Chains A and B, each alone.
Chain A
Amino acid sequence: MILDVILFYGAAIVALASGLFVVSQRSPINSAFSLIVTMCSLAVMFAMLGSAFIAVLQVVVYAGAIMVLFLFVIMLLNAKQEEGERAGGIGRAAIALGIILAIQSVVVVWKGAANLPANYRETTSADVARGLFASPRFLYAFEATSILILSAMVGAIVVARKEKDTGK
């Protein structure tokens, strides 16, 4: 189990440090790079909780697809380093929110709500599939989400189409 402890603290320190870098770096590309590292260390956490499937999805969707889009925007717009300005109201609100979240997480850990349940076991991808599709409880929500995503895709295409293609 000592291996788990080392892995956990390693991943936790990397996640926190890179998370801090995301908000403290001046250059956007550094922030994006730090965010990728954060996502990957979160994936390590999921894998350690015994849900390899969620860990892999975390990497594919967040660290892979979404962050590449971020990087594309940064690289194509050639975003420069942010100059001097101190963060104003938003910065203060973020700090306040951060403090509240920190207190909340301390309380959760204190009350033992973060402990693993006694009947805990590793979830396989088959478990995830069974959970989603075996009962109609989540099935409708799942299918409704897929339709929502499809309509968002169609919307994106309509917005991106050039004016002349729409006909007069």
Chain B
Amino acid sequence: MEMLLSPANKELGIDALIALVKVAVIFNALLLVFSLMTYVERRVLAFMQFRRGPNRVGWFGILQPAADGIKLFFKEEVMPEGAHKLLFFAAPVVALITAYVALAVVPYGGPLVLPFYGQVSVFGRPLDIQIANLDVGVLFIFAITALGVYGIVFAGYASNNKYALIGGLRSSAQMFSYELALGMSWVSVIMAAGSFRLTDIVATTAAWGIWPWMILQSPAFIIYMIAACAEVNRTPFDLPESETELVAGFHTEYSSMKFALLQMAEYINMITVCALASNMFLGGWLSPLPFIPNSPLWFFAKMLFLLFVFIWLRATVPRFRYDQLMDFGWKRLIPIAALWVVLFSGMTAFFGEKKAPPSTVATSTSPAAGQVSR
């Protein structure tokens, strides 16, 4: 007991407590964003297609997600005959856990500074809205999304259904093809920042100025958005669940809460890619307008705008054919991404690098900061 209450352990305990509270807050906030996303998506789609959309439950149908949730809770759980029981159960869990874990390293808005109050600190630690500020932040997200494929593969395989299997295979093939372009689109950003840490990337953006950064990185941003759209299986890349060919793809056999978990994983993945784009390409919490201060609200505004873009795409662009999808991924997107990497590194070599001022990078990469956030 003496040993457990040593000062070092007390510090560790406080760190763990703060991390747990952050996890709880961010987890629930994302649940809220997810449920609202399902509502907003249906309303926006309806608006764009001259329909009304859900407008009966609550004020303008705002309680529709709650009604859907209750409905799914009380649906019957169906286990298809000949299903692989363990994997059938594990698939939605794997999908959801990987979706959530990826969001642990996303900074939701740097150090929390309130107007008229200043920097908020808890137990003498400056509070930032981020669970773990990892040195390998971007790579971590890459790794976790690579694991996220298993949720879909297992769902497809375990269902013992040919449509589900084909959906699962298509989905994983597609995710792997576009992951390459996705990873390449990050290279120019990482090269400019000289770090995988997401807060360093935002610091570099601040050093460049947000508008030059956004303009110069726009080719990478466009590649990223296309690849991300395919990565999260959204229209026009939603081949894995195309109703006309595969019933519902990998989640054909899923019902009740397992179905809800798969849907949730999909939306959380969408939030992840948008949050990442907001931090890497659009400057995160930095304000693009000179007379408005930097604020976490900017981060959320950018993220929500990108989510809206995804809905917008779904309403406007028709689905690819499968061979077109693969051609586009491998023969267009990846070469263009590689070309941009070469161009950008050439520009860096020619015009010289522009790093964040040493102070900001030093404070965020010092071993002490790494220790605390770990």
**A interface with B by C-beta (< 8 Å):** 1-3, 29-30, 33, 36, 40, 52-53, 55-57, 59-60, 63-65, 68, 71-72, 75-76, 121-122, 124-126
Contact = CB atoms under 8 A, between A and B. Distances in A.
Give the secondary structure class of B's interface: helix
Contact of A53 (B139, B156, B169, B365): B139
A136 to B, nearest CB: 20
B139 A125 contact: yes
Contacts of A68: 149-150, 153, 172, 176
Interface residues of B, number: 36
B87 interface: yes
Interface in B109-154: 134-136, 139-140, 142-144, 146-147, 149-150, 153-154
B153 A56 contact: no
A75 B87 contact: no
A40 B150 CA distance: 13
Contacts of A124: 135, 365, 370
B344 to A, nearest CB: 18
Nearest to A40: B147
B146 A63 contact: yes
A56 B172 contact: no
Given A56-B139, A75-B157, A125-B135, 19 more contacts: A1-B9, A29-B87, A29-B157, A33-B86, A53-B135, A53-B136, A56-B140, A56-B143, A57-B139, A59-B143, A59-B146, A59-B147, A68-B172, A71-B157, A71-B172, A72-B172, A76-B169, A121-B367, A126-B194
Interface in B39-84: 84
B25 interface: no
Contact of A125 (B84, B169, B196): B196
Nearest to B190: A125
A63 B147 contact: yes
Nearest to A54: B136
A126 B195 contact: yes
A121 B366 CA distance: 12
A124 B87 CA distance: 36
Nearest to A63: B147
Contacts of A33: 86-87, 90, 154
A72 B147 CA distance: 14
12 contacts: A1-B12, A29-B157, A33-B86, A56-B139, A56-B143, A68-B150, A68-B172, A124-B135, A124-B365, A124-B370, A126-B195, A126-B365
Contacts of B184: none
A29 B153 CA distance: 11
B297 interface: no
B146 A125 contact: no
Interface string B158-185: 0000000100110010001000000000
Contacts of A65: 146, 176
